[in-house]
A and B are shown apart, each in its own frame.
Chain A
């Protein structure tokens, strides 16, 4: 996913948005929310070799606002914020272990879910969903990270 092209990223966001809309109704029964599109975008920014433009993050979020049912500007703002955080601390992340990075991404996904719920589901805002999602997302990311050790052929090889 290193230096992924804009068109490719937008297409991936589109596909993941559809996937998310299929998965979410099942996961919410277990009080879990998994913002796949947000995490894919964060991963793309994190893995990129150069700093992305703020407008790029803003327009990606705006695009997601258009294809999803969220209010205009919500994903645009959140994508811009995560882009800023990752670009600011990208060198610090190199000192982190995989567990710390997993916790960072899980925490950022919880921030995303909580902030989104403040706007689109204020009356059913649930701390239970946030805590369960934090636990679930952290475990999921750790599992994904561990896969590359157990199945080395699955890991992406960089030069």
Chain B
């Protein structure tokens, strides 16, 4: 059966659909009207995969584990004992307290007696779109804290290498705006030099633009830039990155790239600072 070309009525419907699409794009890009729906969907998918994994993979794993021979368990136990002994030797703090691994209360007592205050909430990276991170301007990560359900909007997010961004939205999952997102701006300093660094949309790179009539001090390749704390979000004096590439835009403005010291892809365990 041959297909006929769209009638005028169908064409009107096509036109209507395309107009509605344009309107939806406008709403989404300008007012972020659908962020809630998208976040709900992401959390639904993550929860579903978690439950699915618990219902299918975990029982199989459990059966596999209990089917192991006793000798395997004994060997593993010996191996763990060896690892524990090694960790006692290599870690001075742990080796000071022989009951460190006993239970959670021991850890709390250790923290209390040594006056160690937690300065961050431990969190786990739940969803990170590497495709968007490598190709596009929008660099976001979705994290979930282990203990607290407090509203953490505006809190800096760190990993073991340094600052990676801050939280901009949070309900079940918290959405992190990464330093490299083109919507992200961060005040930086290096000595007496200040500039606002904007995300480049490229992994591991942010861009600073400054007026060389105002800041006459020259910037050099490899120069280290630190957070200035002037944005009210990030703490002051944290190493952010090193100058990589300097370009003269015109006679008044100079732009340079900063290679970040931190990367969101390095680990999935991160921290959300309690306050600056």
Give A residues with C-beta under 8 Å from B: 20-21, 24-25, 28, 33, 48-51, 53-55, 57-58, 61, 66-67, 69, 71-74, 76-77, 80-81, 83-84, 87-88, 90-91, 117, 119-124
Given that A21-B129, A25-B131, A90-B3 are contacting pairs, would A66 and B38 also be in contact in the complex, using a CB cutoff of 8 Å?
Answer: yes
The residue in chain A whose Cβ has the minimal distance to the Cβ of B133 is: A25
Contacts of B25 in A (CB 8 A): 71-74, 77, 119
10 extra A-B contacts, CB within 8 A, seeds A69-B138, A73-B22, A121-B135? A24-B135, A28-B131, A28-B135, A51-B4, A69-B38, A77-B17, A77-B18, A77-B22, A88-B6, A90-B3
What residues of chain A lie closer than 8 Å to B13, measured between beta carbons?
53-55
Q: B130 near A: Cβ within 8 Å? A: yes
Chain B interface residues toward A at CB < 8 A: 1-6, 10-11, 13-14, 16-18, 20-29, 33-34, 37-38, 41, 129-132, 134-138, 182, 200-202
Q: How far is the CA of A69 from the CA of B17 in the complex (A)?
A: 21
* Docked complex Cα distance between A48 and B6 (Å): 15
Contact A25 B134 (CB under 8 A): yes
Minimum C-beta distance from B22 to chain A (A): 6
**Using a Cβ cutoff of 8 Å, how many contacts connect chains A and B?**
117
Evaluate contact between B21 and A74: CB separation under 8 angstroms.
yes
How far is B1's CA from A60's CA once the two chains are assembled, in angstroms? 25
Cα-based distance from A32 to B235 in the complex (angstroms): 40
Residues on B with C-beta less than 8 A from A76 are 17, 20-21, 24
Report yes or no: B23 in contact with A73, Cβ–Cβ below 8 A. yes
CB distance from B86 to the nearest CB of A (A): 37
Residues from chain A with a CB closer than 8 A to the CB of B16 are: 54
Partner of A72, one of B17, B24, B201: B24
